[in-house]
Amino acid sequence: MTADADSASVRAYLDELAQQRRSSLHTVRSYRHDLELLCRLLAELPGEACLASVQSHHIRRFVAQLHTRGLGGRSLGRTLSAWRGFFGWLGQRGQTTHNPVDGVRPPKSPQALPKVLAPDEASRLLAAASDNLLQVRDQAMFELFYSSGLRLAELAALDLSCLDELLGGEVRVLGKRNRLRIVPVGSKARQAVASWVAQRASLAAAGEAALFVSQRGTRLGVRAIQLRLQRRGLAQGLLARVHPHMLRHSFASHVLQSSGDLRAVQEMLGHASISSTQVYTHLDFQHLAAVYDKAHPRAKRKPT
């Protein structure tokens, strides 16, 4: 294979991800970045290196190079996953005899705990007045984020067709890897959505299917949602930079603190593995430790 043939293989793989596997735009962009990075690293090797000639020691070398450039274990793990999938695809087409990424692991890095809002901060964020139509729409979106733990792309993709179920107390969303899940919707979120839908027609373009629309009447994009939430956080005096995933993390942490039901939180978040959900147990422990430090007689500092 030549460099041109390698580039053609990358394009074909990305096209399949987008068109046949229906991967999200974000996933395709991430894979494109990772595979272009692979091709650049390959070009730095001496001689006429190509994808078909890559061995496991080359992949380990690439990982070491990227690690020295500042990439952490989690980022490298995602990159290796993209490379592994690509080489597996090449193998299915007879373009490689083995997968050089198999058996290669990223360096371990400390697990960063997700940032969450305290319950009173979440209440303050959602207590803002809704003085105009855009604020009514925003209130409905932010209540849904916090009520149901939706991902940003999941909320942006909601259509009016989900309205009956949503107002009835649940919503179906298509998550990562096209996994369908049903999550509950709380009363505050249902009320906020009902208020928005009652006025939506004055903003939405004719025939627009999206539940949440922009001032132009078309589906509201993910970047616009991020910016609206960030501005709401600043307006409410929150010190942290509030983003949609922070509301998802807050939902998970607060539900786990109240219920202790890790499996239920896993189902509602749509995690394939419970190990992804267990990070919230560390947050719960931090909360309990803070309570202990304040309440336990032996934990209190003695006056000096």
Question: What CATH number is given to the structural domain containing 170?
Answer: 1.10.443.10
Active site residue 176: yes
How long a stretch of residues is the chain? 304
Verify that 150 and 249 share a domain, yes or no: yes
For 228, what's the count of Cα atoms within 13 Å in the CB-facing half-sphere? 22
User: 87-97: b or e for each residue (b if 16 or more CB lie within 10 Å)?
Assistant: bebbeeeebbe
- Give the domain CATH number at 54: 1.10.150
- Return the pLDDT at 137: 97
Verify that 128 and 273 share a domain, yes or no: yes
Active site residue 74: no
Q: What is the pLDDT of residues 151-185, one digit of tens each?
A: 999 999 999 999 999 999 999 988 877 788 888 89
Structure tokens at 222: 């993910």
Active site residue 294: no
Q: Read off the pTM.
A: 0.60
Q: What is the pLDDT of residues 201-221, one digit of tens each?
A: 999 999 999 999 999 999 999
H/E element holding 292? Answer: helix 279-295
Active site residue 179: no
Give whole-number Cα distances, 231 to 142, 237, 288, in Å: 12, 10, 31
Total structural domains in the chain?
Answer: 2
**Cα separation, 194 vs 140, whole angstroms:** 8
Verify that 188 and 271 share a domain, yes or no: yes
**Cα separation, 217 vs 207, whole angstroms:** 10
Catalytic residue among 60, 61, 176, 287: 176
Active site residue 249: no
Domain residues for 45?
3-92
DSSP 3-state assignment of 48? coil
Active site residue 13: no
Sign of CA dihedral 202, 204, 209, 210: negative
